[in-house]
Amino acid sequence: MPIRNPLAQEILNKQRKNEYLKRKALTKKEIEQAINGLSNNDQYLHNKLLQMDSLFGLYLEYRKETEKFSEFVNSRTKEFEQKQSKDKQGT
């Protein structure tokens, strides 16, 4: 049951925080929760990137610029690879 008195709630929150800070190591449950949270966030971001990639591909298809964009990317990739090989030879 939540405490309705804001002052009492603040005191309780401070006590909980102090107890949490006094512990030196995380519990196994806290570590598992953190890892699960990170895993969920990672999966969410992965799905969003896939959606953005799909949307961008559809946009290029809509604009009928798919081949033009592919040629542009290939030319930039070749330039980057040439620069990388020159940098490796120089060092």
Q: What is the number of structural domains in the chain?
A: 1
The string of pLDDT tens digits covering residues 30-89 is 889 999 999 999 999 999 999 999 999 999 999 998 899 999 999 999 999 999 988 888
Distance CA 82, CA 59 (A): 30
Domain residue limits at 60: 6-64
User: Within 10 Å of residue 60's Cβ, how many Cβ atoms?
Assistant: 15
Q: pTM for the complete prediction?
A: 0.54
Residue 10 has pLDDT above 90, yes or no: no
15 in Cβ contact with 6 (< 8 Å): no
